[in-house]
Amino acid sequence: MPDPLTVASGICAAGALLSSWQLGRRAVRAEAEIGRLQAELTAERHAASHDPLTGLPNRRAFYRLAATLLTDRSGCRHLIAVVLDLDDFKQINDRYGHAAGDQVLVSVAERLATFAGDNLVARLGGDEFAGLLTSPTVDRRWIDHATRRLYDMLAAPIPMGAVTLRVTASVGLAPVQDSQLTEALNRADAAMYEAKALGSGRTGRALRDTAYLAEC
């Protein structure tokens, strides 16, 4: 006949093993739940700060990230505010449909991001985009060259099934002086609307703010 103490000891050991296993399972489930919640939180934060169509930062994120760039910049590096608006974008939606318009916006966003490289670009809303470019100088020649490159990239054909679309953009650029981002964006925006008012006859549809152009 088994020793009662031995049986009791075995039962206790088995119970301890079962309890340990159950605790381990609960810990695994808890870790999985924490991971899921963290992933959901990350996704929600990304959705709150990024444009759902193009994946670029949205208006709110642009101003927040730009403020950080203005605080952290060092050395002889200038910041150039860029504002661009597509020309006659409504006609694309009216003629080819909103799906085609969305594809154009995605293509423009990709090209703007490629042009900017590691610099900040964002979709402010509709067909309006903005950026904050770093430059070793605000020399007129550098800004003219950057403007031409950006315009040529945006104006490249966009294949879209049976049709190929070309879009142009009106662009305004303005150097950021004394960390005054809002002022620079207002000047860039005014230059952009001035370029748009000139009509399609102006190559590049872009103007620069010349009030503060100077060598570093």
How high is the pLDDT of residue 3? 53
Question: In the predicted model, is pLDDT for residue 4 greater than 60?
Answer: no
Q: In the chain, what percentage of residues exceed pLDDT 90?
A: 37
pLDDT band (50, 70, 90) for residue 148: confident
Average pLDDT over residues 142-154: 85
How high is the pLDDT of residue 12? 61
Residues 158 and 167: their CA atoms lie apart, in Å, by 8
Backbone φ, ψ for residue 172 (5° rounding): -130, 135
Q: Is 127 a catalytic residue?
A: yes
Residues 188 and 129: their CA atoms lie apart, in Å, by 12
Q: What is the pLDDT of residues 70-117, one digit of tens each?
A: 887 665 578 899 999 999 899 999 999 999 999 999 999 999 999 999
Report which of residues 1 and 152 the model is more confident about.
Answer: 152
> Which CB contacts under 8 angstroms, 24+ apart, belong to 114-119?
114/153, 115/149, 115/150, 115/153
Residues 101 and 47: their CA atoms lie apart, in Å, by 21
pLDDT band (50, 70, 90) for residue 178: confident
Average pLDDT over residues 12-35: 67
Question: In the predicted model, is pLDDT for residue 215 greater than 50?
Answer: no
| Residues 137, 144 contacting (CB under 8 angstroms) | no
Q: What is the pLDDT of residues 182-197, one digit of tens each?
A: 999 999 999 898 888 8
Q: Which of 185, 209, 173, 172 is nearest to 70 (CA)?
A: 185
| Residues 158, 96 contacting (CB under 8 angstroms) | no
Per annotation, catalytic residue among 51, 127, 189, 209 = 127
